[in-house]
Structure 1
């Protein structure tokens, strides 16, 4: 036996604590006349936006967004099958990205009882810099696992030299539907949905973010 082709897969996984928390909320108003509903929604949004900008200036919030006012109308039916006068709904969506989960909890506890405020989900994530660094590290470790496996196979066959021939994202050498792409972070974080939080003290405790990478590699063992 002079030469054998060895094809292996390498995987690696790491778990890290989230560095950022982005919360989504909406401010809503409704009524029978469009202009008052629009004005009411904008008036309800002002203290929420002021609260966000104040925390942005203090460094508690690193980024935030606010969408344009959205207005829609619906004409309900009464129990006699007749269309009633239109009801107008106005809403403004906002997001805010916090550095610390405790600051997020305090802020949500403050604003959730306010009139018209609906608190949505929280997504946990990393900074772009940390994301890129961990993506490289996890992919590199996955390659190391592939090399170690190839050497183990070669040794079991009584061969000693292992030369890499090909390395690729999972599925490109030996296609498979279930493998995640190599070199790309696969995240699994926690998303929390809000319920009835009026008067509640919210506590957000994120799960670790799981980052995985998988590669496929082909070697020639001699």
Structure 2
């Protein structure tokens, strides 16, 4: 046995704490008159926006956005099948990116009891620089795993040297079952209501972010 082709897969992942949290909050109002509903949602949104801009000035909020005012009308039906007068709904969505998890929890505790405020999703993530660095490091580690695995096969066959012939992201060398894209960051966030009798405080606990990479490689073992 002078030469054998060895095809292997290498995987690696890193788990890190998120560096940023982007939260979405909606402010809503409804009523029978369009103008009063618009005025109400604008009035309810103003203090929420003020708390965000104050934190932006202090540096705890990195960036924030606010959508345009959205207004729609619906004519509900009563239990007798009769169409009622229109009801108007107005909303404004705001997103804010926090650099500190504890500050996010405090802010949500402040604004969540306010009239018309609905706290939505939280996206936990890394800075682009950290994410890019970790993807490079994880990919390099995955290649190292593939090399070590190929060398183990070669040694078991009584061969010594392994020479790389081909390397690719998973699925590009040989058909494989569907898998997550290599290097994809996965993040989840859980919002837990406080058990205090006082009631409205919120605690946001981020899960770790997983950066993973999988490669396929082909070697000649000699």
2:88 counterpart of 1:88 = yes
Question: What is residue 105 of structure 2 aligned with on the other side?
Answer: 105
Map 1:1-222 to 2 at 5 A.
Answer: 1-182=1-182, 184=183, 186-192=184-190, 199-222=199-222
SS in 1 for 2:76: coil
Q: CA deviation at 1:189?
A: 2.1
CA distance in 1 between counterparts of 2:63 and 2:168 reads 36
CA distance in 2 between counterparts of 1:206 and 1:219 reads 41
SS in 2 for 1:130: helix
Q: CA deviation at 1:195?
A: 7.2
Conserved 8 A contact 1:160-1:221: yes
Aligned length: 220
Q: Sort the Cα spacing of 1:196 and 1:93 in 2 relative to 1 into closer, same or farther, 3 A.
A: farther
CA distance in 2 between counterparts of 1:196 and 1:154 reads 57
- Using the size of structure 1 for normalisation, the TM-score is 0.94
Q: Sort the Cα spacing of 1:37 and 1:97 in 2 relative to 1 into closer, same or farther, 3 A.
A: same
Conserved 8 A contact 2:66-2:92: yes
Task: Give the gaps of 5 or more residues in structure 2.
Answer: none
Show CA shifts across 1:13-72 (max 9, x none). Answer: 111000001111100000001111111111110111111001001000001111111111
CA distance in 2 between counterparts of 1:86 and 1:195 reads 35
CA distance in 2 between counterparts of 1:60 and 1:153 reads 52
Conserved 8 A contact 1:23-1:120: yes
Task: Give the gaps of 5 or more residues in structure 1.
Answer: none
Conserved 8 A contact 2:189-2:204: no
CA distance in 2 between counterparts of 1:216 and 1:112 reads 48
Conserved 8 A contact 1:22-1:98: yes
SS in 2 for 1:205: strand
SS in 2 for 1:28: strand
CA distance in 1 between counterparts of 2:78 and 2:39 reads 28
Show CA shifts across 1:67-92 (max 9, x none). Answer: 11111111000111110000000000
CA distance in 2 between counterparts of 1:152 and 1:69 reads 63
Aligned CA RMSD, in angstroms, stands at 1.7
- Using the size of structure 2 for normalisation, the TM-score is 0.94
Richer in strand (by share): 2
